[in-house]
Amino acid sequence: MRCLKTRTVLGLLTAAWLIGVVYFLSDIRSPEQSTHDGDSYLEDYDKFIDNNDFHGRNTAPLDDLRVTAAHTEVRKHIRKLPLDGRSIENFDAQGYLAGAKLKEGQDPYANNAYNQKASEDASFNRDPPDVRHSQCQSKSWPSDLPTTSVIICFHNEGRAALLRTVVSVLLQTPGHLLKDIILVDDDSKNPDDGKLLEKLPKVKTIRNNGREGLIRSRVKGADLARGDVLTFLDSHCECNKHWIEPLLMRIQENRKILVSPIIDVINMDNFQYLASSPDLRGGFSWNMNFKWDYLPQHVLAGRQNAPISPIKTPVIAGGLFSISKLWFNELGRYDPDMDVWGGENL
């Protein structure tokens, strides 16, 4: 009788074990299926991050997530990923600006050669007037464009101008196209100029230990970039509506081109945003200084029926442009022996 009971108990335990194994295998399924499921969950989570509109719903990137074989494990990891809470609305802009605000009686042009008082008076998240050509305003842009990393190098930049640059990138760039914003602090006097901006979505900051100059700083930023396309911006500019889509679309069509936007004007005295002429291209003088040239008449005539078509140019201003990261590296990147800005665009 005791042996019979023992066999019965062993049989029940064996049956329970088999049921457990079957359930486990049905949950994991084949390696191919589980890997696919894991990727799909990550893709959904990435979309949740990238499609974020930066108004209180931003989440941490998945840089450190390691996908396990079972999709149940992926779900577990995703549930544990905390929201980092970074958003423009939660950023203490007034506190950031107060840390380096122009003092009473101080020359507003002394630090950056523009009116710092006017810059501080202008809203950090203002919406620039849409000065684009009417055909640009009515144009629809594809959503399946390459992603971009925006790289901004600075040294002792006015905080209001720097903040407005970063925020304009966030507000005017579709979330799924913007991988990250990389700020390269070229040894500014106050490390908090850049460090505090890491409280904004997708912002990463690196700081040079000593002056490196624009060129080496840009290369450092490019090394950290996760986007398909590198977009370099000056630290005192503002992005307008649909600024990035035309640049990314051109690179999608031909990855071996370098493309620069129309560069509007921000008045250095009152910080009014002004439209610039679209009929310009880059040139240079005999002493190798960059200058703007008006388009020749034969080029203008050819643009009558295509006023928003790209303009071929021998050189660009150098401060604002996009280039495929792969092509940037294939070309050899910038010459690291260049110490100051100017000339690299030629």
Run of H or E residues at 344: none
- Identify whether the C-beta of residue 159 lies closer than 8 Å to the C-beta of residue 193: yes
pLDDT per residue as tens digits for the range 209-247: 999 999 999 999 999 999 999 999 999 999 999 999 999
Please report the pLDDT score of residue 13 as a whole number. 53
Residue 198 has pLDDT above 70, yes or no: yes
- The answer to the question of residue 67 being in a domain is no
- The answer to the question of residue 146 being in a domain is yes
DSSP character for 233? E
- The answer to the question of residue 20 being in a domain is no
C-alpha–C-alpha distance, residues 159 and 193, integer Å? 6
- The answer to the question of residue 285 being in a domain is yes
Please report the pLDDT score of residue 123 as a whole number. 97
Q: Is 229 helix (H, G, I), strand (E, B) or coil?
A: strand
The secondary structure of 194-223 as a DSSP string is HHGGGGSTTEEEEE-SS--HHHHHHHHHHH
C-alpha–C-alpha distance, residues 313 and 304, integer Å? 18
Q: Cα dihedral angle (72, 74, 76, 79), rounded to 10 degrees?
A: -130
Residue 315 has pLDDT above 50, yes or no: yes
- The answer to the question of residue 27 being in a domain is no
C-alpha–C-alpha distance, residues 227 and 222, integer Å? 9
Q: Which residues pair with 211 in a beta bridge?
A: none
- Identify whether the C-beta of residue 125 lies closer than 8 Å to the C-beta of residue 169: no
φ, ψ dihedrals at 169, nearest 5°? -60, -45
pLDDT per residue as tens digits for the range 157-175: 999 999 999 999 999 999 9
pLDDT per residue as tens digits for the range 258-312: 999 999 999 999 999 999 999 999 999 998 889 999 999 999 999 999 999 999 9
Q: Which residues pair with 227 in a beta bridge?
A: none
**pTM for the model:** 0.76
Q: Which residues pair with 206 in a beta bridge?
A: 184
Please report the pLDDT score of residue 16 as a whole number. 55
Number of domains in the chain: 1
DSSP character for 184? E
Residue 2 has pLDDT above 80, yes or no: no
pLDDT per residue as tens digits for the range 83-122: 456 899 999 999 999 999 999 999 999 999 999 999 999 9
Please report the pLDDT score of residue 33 as a whole number. 37
Higher pLDDT, 68 or 333: 333
CA dist list (Å): 260 to 61, 114, 323: 29, 24, 9
Parallel, antiparallel, or unpaired: how do β-strands 229-233 and 148-154 relate? parallel
Token pair, residue 90, equals: 């939660």
C-alpha–C-alpha distance, residues 229 and 222, integer Å? 10
DSSP character for 284? E
- Identify whether the C-beta of residue 163 lies closer than 8 Å to the C-beta of residue 95: no
- Where in the sequence is the domain holding 271, given as residue range(s)? 85-331
- The answer to the question of residue 72 being in a domain is no
Please report the pLDDT score of residue 84 as a whole number. 54
Name the residue among 270, 74, 245 with its Cα closest to residue 146: 245
pLDDT per residue as tens digits for the range 9-51: 455 555 555 555 444 444 434 333 333 333 333 344 344 444 4
CATH number at residue 171: 3.90.550.10
Please report the pLDDT score of residue 341 as a whole number. 72
Please report the pLDDT score of residue 14 as a whole number. 57
Residue 58 has pLDDT above 70, yes or no: no
C-alpha–C-alpha distance, residues 58 and 64, integer Å? 17
The stretches of the chain forming alpha helices (DSSP H) are 2-28, 31-50, 71-80, 93-98, 116-121, 134-138, 159-172, 192-195, 213-224, 245-253, 297-302, 325-330
The secondary structure of 79-118 as a DSSP string is HHPPP----TTTS-HHHHHHTTPPPTT--TTTTTSS-HHH
Please report the pLDDT score of residue 43 as a whole number. 43
Please report the pLDDT score of residue 94 as a whole number. 97
Parallel, antiparallel, or unpaired: how do β-strands 265-266 and 273-274 relate? antiparallel
Q: Label residue 78 by pLDDT band (50, 70, 90).
A: very low
